[in-house]
Amino acid sequence: MLFRCPHCGDRDHTEFSYLREFDPDAADDTQFRHVYLRRNEIGAHREIWQHVYGCRTVFVLERDTVTHAVHG
Amino acid sequence: MKYSILSLARNALSRHERWPQAWRTPAPRPRYDVVIVGGGGHGLATAYYLARRHGIRDVAVLEKGWLGGGNTGRNTTIVRSNYLLEANAHFYELSMKLWEGLSQELNFNVMYSPRGVLNLAHTPAQRDAHQRRGNAMRLNGIDAKWLERDAVERMVPLLNCSDDARFPVIGGLLQPRGGTVRHDAVAWGYARAADSLGVDVIQNCEVMGFQREGGRITGVETSLGRIGAGRIGIAVAGHSGVLAAKAGFALPVETHLLQAMVSEPIKPLIDTVVTYGAGHLYISQSDKGELVLGGDLDFYPSYAQRGNLAVLREAASFAIEMFPCLSRLRLMRHWAGAVDMSMDGSPIIGKTEIPGLYLNGGWCYGGFKATPASGYVFAHTIANDSPHPLCAAFTLERFAQGALLDEKGAGPFPQHH
């Protein structure tokens, strides 16, 4: 998989670390739901990654959990 | 038909052309007392124990593909009960005890091989942690033995135990009764035994949704039409979250990739199961002679059942570091399973917020070894609408209650367990 880092551009996925799935309600919800529950969707998945072996930017990525196709 | 030396001899005379089918291929009936979703080892074992121990025989197992085609057929066949926390230790020890008698109980050879599971230690801190776990196991009545480096060397002569290793081995924790079991045979054995007790095992039947009346579960919509059910048990491993979403709730689970691989077959080389302590690798040899290797997760959510090469490369490098003689061996196949990683690394067995709907999931890396105990306690939970004492700590509510079973102390990060 190739990921597009907002800072560095296209880099191999092994340079990145998966942090967690993107949670649109993170700010205004109970801590339990945010910490423990996951939608764990099959198919299109918005998730947060960090370019740990590069510029260390944290960004949101849309990736398909069945085909591994990466969008933006 | 009971499998025995006599049935073997009789069928040899007819050139093995008249063996009866091991289980029926029934069309689904309109309604069952209990419907189990998922025809892997856990689902089939649950159906078997419902029929055998609880007298509930009006049971169907619905499988969207073929029996044991998911994680039951994708694991590295290792069984063990070397856990630190009491709830895990007693649960997995029940599984070990059931493995020991399973071939006789099912009249099907599951090829349980107590060849030992050896966890290597490479640092003094790791030795302390292993010895602590070994002591906890012994206090819980489970076999465990600490081996110093010379004993490890005698037990696994081809292992690189020299001081020249990048991370020299200083010893290992051995569970002698641990070992391997033929994974396909577990699915087939439970399917055959459940079928003979009247359970309908229905393949190519995908569950698309759940039906409820007044809150209570009343049936499932499937690719073969509606099937009514008094109670429903979900045992679908990596797809637990997908089915929970169909029922309208979210789980403390993330689905990840776990890869495994086999080498080309070679003569007997490793007669035990060895795990590397300076990285994540477990290695054993199958009866066909293939070396079976498993390593880390790919560390991102996926339902793909296939992984990327970085993990493969890492696993292969660990294997060569452990056994330098493997360096020119070729890998023959690699594959992945979709594993449901829970937020504390321990499984979830119990009731859900919907009356009549029960969940068995969150098995992380370790579902296969749990198969018999998982079916045993899940059947009890469904039959009595209350958890078996050995799975009372595995409830779904434990996450909200803070009663986590975090064997590694890794926190609520599913990919770190």
In chain B, DSSP finds a helix count (H) and a strand count (E) of 10, 18
ipTM, two decimals: 0.88
Rounded CA gap, B352 and B79, in Å? 28
DSSP sequence for A22-37: --TTSTTS-HHHHHH-
| Residue B304 near chain A (CB below 8 Å) | yes
| Full pLDDT tens readout for chain B, 417 residues | 899 999 999 999 999 999 999 999 999 999 999 999 999 999 999 999 999 999 999 999 999 999 999 999 999 999 999 999 999 999 999 999 999 999 999 999 999 999 999 999 999 999 999 999 999 999 999 999 999 999 999 999 999 999 999 999 999 999 999 999 999 999 999 999 999 999 999 999 999 999 999 999 999 999 999 999 999 999 999 999 999 999 999 999 999 999 999 999 999 999 999 999 999 999 999 999 999 999 999 999 999 999 899 999 999 999 999 999 999 999 999 999 999 999 999 999 999 999 999 999 999 989 999 999 999 999 999 999 999 999 999 999 999 999 999 999 999 999 998
Tens of pLDDT, residue by residue over A23-71, are: 887 766 678 888 999 999 999 999 999 999 999 999 999 999 999 999 8
Q: Which of A14, A15, A40 to mutate to test the interface with B (most CBs of B within 10 A)?
A: A40
Rounded CA gap, B13 and B10, in Å? 5
Q: Which of B241, B316, B235, B236 lies closest to B280 in space, CA to CA? A: B316
Cβ pair B168, B122 in contact under 8 A: yes
**CA closest to B239 among chain A residues:** A42
Contacts (Cβ under 8 Å, ≥6 apart) of B143: B137, B175, B176, B177
Whether residues A38 and B254 touch (CB distance < 8 A) is answered with yes
Q: Which of B385, B278, B288 lies closest to B77 in space, CA to CA? A: B288
Sheet architecture: strand order including A17-21? A17-21, A44-50, A58-64, A70-71
Helices (H), B323-414: 367-384, 398-401
User: What are the tokens at B363?
Assistant: 């098995």
| Residue B277 near chain A (CB below 8 Å) | no
Q: How far is CA B70 from CA B41, B66, B97, B238, B367, in A?
A: 9, 8, 25, 9, 11
Whether residues B300 and A47 touch (CB distance < 8 A) is answered with yes
Is B410 strand, coil or helix? coil
Identity (one letter) of the amino acid at B45? A
pLDDT for res A27: 67
Whether residues B303 and A66 touch (CB distance < 8 A) is answered with yes
Restricting to A residues 20-49, those with a Cβ less than 8 Å away from any Cβ of B are 20-21, 32-33, 35-42, 45, 47
| Residue A60 near chain B (CB below 8 Å) | no
